[in-house]
A and B are shown apart, each in its own frame.
Chain A
């Protein structure tokens, strides 16, 4: 960072040839962006290039050093290792549960909280509070609430005669519990994005429809919902990408268990890379995650373009 800004070269050249206004502006602009560009190259672009190479090597605790193996890690993941498809399946189940639930709840909350009434700020504040809370704190508290025998949730269920499962240790329930607590944690973010979108919807249409005698449902489906479509699309992709990246929540609540029932892609990368030190294989997994997110993003851009035209 420092080398960039100072440099004997600029000190020497600065006085001799007078820079044209255009060149001077360009030089200044590059000085302005130089901190982020330098850091970005070192800590982001470099590693991104490196991970491509890593992914084509065999490199683990046994080999100690990297040997080039071409596409073998990818072939291993896609055809040999049964864990991989299990992990992808888990990630898809997680996304398929989280995305619709999150978006439906976010939209309902936004519809209820987009107009002023007594207590609207109070409710918005509550529904958004988990978003600013650390994932660790959230996971600790919910782990405590969801314990099998003495957990508060099960104690409450017992009152109405339900014998609750050991939520986070039961292979049938762990994924449900993880999805539910994640939705509660993150839904506030989508809620405020929907509220912002709803508040920019012109009220005239709605008033006119109401005067024509349209019901609330009709107004929603024929006016509000179509106007929200661009927002819905953006939120859907952001939420989908977020669900593929989920790591801390899984690490803290279930550690991938029980019986690998909540072993999702980001957690699998961490486990392979930093617990088992399969650097080559973990890098191939990271590349696969990169491609998934890339496809989702491009899909979003294409759909938005279609929407615009």
Chain B
């Protein structure tokens, strides 16, 4: 029996889809297993593996909040990420606009200077920053977690992303604004920014996630349980011997990850595009 070309095509398609589905397992399964295990009893965690818990232990999600100040820690992550995002948007769009549109002495040098920062890993400057923050009296506060992302390599990357976008905007509208007597600041605020919504959205998305997922800086600068951010808190559900309390740890991790995944599923196109925009910088 020979297959018609159409049948062959369909068969081909099905094979490809099955192969992709198999490949997708290690990408998607950890999330499912995380949520499922977050509902299990400690006994079932180590028992027969099953995706559907035999007993749904909702109590895990209560215990998560009594074991440590998890609600407070959740709020910390949220407000820090929002502050970092807002500050980064202002600072990077101001600087990005000047670098794209204004002529000033030292602009070229400044560009080179800022660009060179993009290749310096945070690990290189973290030791002096530790002493700087201690000297400023900012240890065990949230200030380092706000200041370092905004003014470090991430903020510079955001600046260049904004600059790139401003460069591609038509100049004529801004010229018209100038004719109407707008100041530079007015042009930036009333004309340039409203036209750059896609770039602002991209910067907001990657900055929020960058702050939300930050680990090294909280680890070094924050030591009080009340001031922990989520990444630190998640790693902290341990028994007195330092072994993980898996059901609590996975319940808490689900609480931290699922809202982000939910937003991602709704806005996946926008989010993926934002990363593509920031990835092809320079």
Q: Quick check: B98 and A33 within 8 Å, CB to CB?
A: yes
Known: A36-B94, A129-B261. 19 other contacts (CB 8 A): A26-B105, A36-B155, A39-B151, A44-B117, A44-B151, A46-B132, A124-B272, A129-B264, A134-B234, A141-B33, A144-B246, A156-B49, A238-B279, A251-B219, A266-B121, A273-B130, A286-B124, A287-B124, A293-B119
Pick the contact of A150: B16, B46, B153, B256 (CB < 8 A).
B46
Could you say which of A40, A117, A247, A294 contacts B123, with CB atoms under 8 Å apart?
A247
Contact B279 A248 (CB under 8 A): no
Q: Is the C-beta of A222 less than 8 angstroms from some C-beta in chain B?
A: no
Q: Are A47 and B128 in contact (CB under 8 A)?
A: yes
Quick check: A36 and B30 within 8 Å, CB to CB? no
Tally of contact residues, A, Cβ under 8 A: 84
Distance of A132 Cα from B260 Cα, bound (Å): 8
In the bound complex, residues from chain A placing their C-beta under 8 Å from that of B122 are 245
Instruction: Write out the residue numbers on chain A whose beta carbons fall within 8 Å of the beta carbon of B130.
Output: 273-274
Contacts of A270 in B (CB 8 A): 123, 216
Give a binary string over A119-144; 1 marks a CB under 8 Å from any B CB, 0 the rest. Answer: 10101111111111111111011111
Contacts of B120 in A (CB 8 A): 44, 48, 290, 293
Interface residues on B, range: 35 or more
Contact with A along B22-36 (1 / 0, CB 8 A): 011011101101100
Q: Which residues of chain A are within 8 angstroms of B280 by Cβ–Cβ distance?
A: 193, 196, 234
User: A145 an interface residue at 8 Å Cβ cutoff?
Assistant: yes
Residue of B nearest to A36 (CB): B95
Neighbouring A residues of B231 by C-beta, 8 Å = 134-136, 248
- Nearest neighbor of B97 in chain A, beta-carbon distance: A32
Q: Which of B102-141 contact A (CB under 8 A)?
A: 102-105, 107, 110, 114, 117, 119-132
User: Hey, which chain B residues are within 8 Å of A196, CB to CB?
Assistant: 276, 280
B27–A137 touching, CB < 8 Å: no
Pick the contact of A141 from B24, B34, B147, B268 — CB < 8 Å? B34
A184 / chain B contacts, CB cutoff of 8 Å: 26-27
* A181–B105 alpha-carbon span in the complex (Å): 48
Interface flags for A268-300 (1: CB within 8 Å of B; 0: not) read 011001100001001100110110011001000
Please name all residues of chain B whose beta carbon is closer than 8 Å to the beta carbon of A247 when the two chains form the complex: 123, 215-216
- Asked if B127 and A51 sit within 8 Å, CB to CB, the answer is yes
* Shortest distance from the beta carbon of B141 to any chain A beta carbon, whole Å: 15
Which one of B110, B159, B230 has the highest number of Cβ atoms from chain A below 10 Å of its Cβ?
B110
For residue A74, give the distance in angstroms from its CB to the closest CB of chain B: 15
B80 proximal to A (CB < 8 A)? no
User: B24, A245: Cβ atoms under 8 Å?
Assistant: no
A residues with CB within 8 A of B:
22, 25-26, 28-30, 32-33, 35-37, 39-40, 42-44, 46-48, 50-51, 54, 109, 112-113, 117, 119, 121, 123-138, 140-145, 150, 152, 155-156, 184, 188-189, 192-193, 196, 234, 238, 241, 244-245, 247-248, 251-252, 266, 269-270, 273-274, 279, 282-283, 286-287, 289-290, 293-294, 297
Chain B nearest Cβ from A46, distance in angstroms: 7
Contacts of A241 in B (CB 8 A): 119, 121
Which residue of chain A lies nearest to B264 when distances are taken between CB atoms in the complex?
A132
Shortest distance from the beta carbon of A264 to any chain B beta carbon, whole Å: 11
- As a 0/1 sequence over residues 247 to 272 of chain B, the CB contacts with chain A under 8 angstroms (1 = contact) are 00110010011001100110011011
Question: By the criterion CB–CB under 8 Å, are A47 and B123 in contact?
Answer: no
Q: A40-B114, A129-B264, A297-B119 are known contacts. Are A48 and B147 too (CB-CB below 8 A)?
A: no
What separation, in Å, do the CA atoms of A174 and B232 have in the docked complex?
23
For A135, give its contact among B23, B26, B150, B213 (CB under 8 Å).
Answer: B213
Q: Does B184 contact A (CB under 8 A)?
A: yes
Tell whether, in the assembled complex, residue A48 and residue B261 are in contact, meaning their CB atoms are under 8 Å apart.
Answer: no
**B235 contacts A by Cβ under 8 Å:** yes
A25 touches B121 (CB 8 A): no
Chain B nearest CB, measured from A183 CB (Å) = 10
Q: List 8 A-B contacts (CB under 8 A).
A: A28-B184, A28-B185, A36-B114, A133-B260, A138-B30, A238-B279, A287-B124, A294-B119
Judge whether B121 and A273 touch: CB under 8 Å: no
Minimum CB distance partner of B232 in chain A? A136
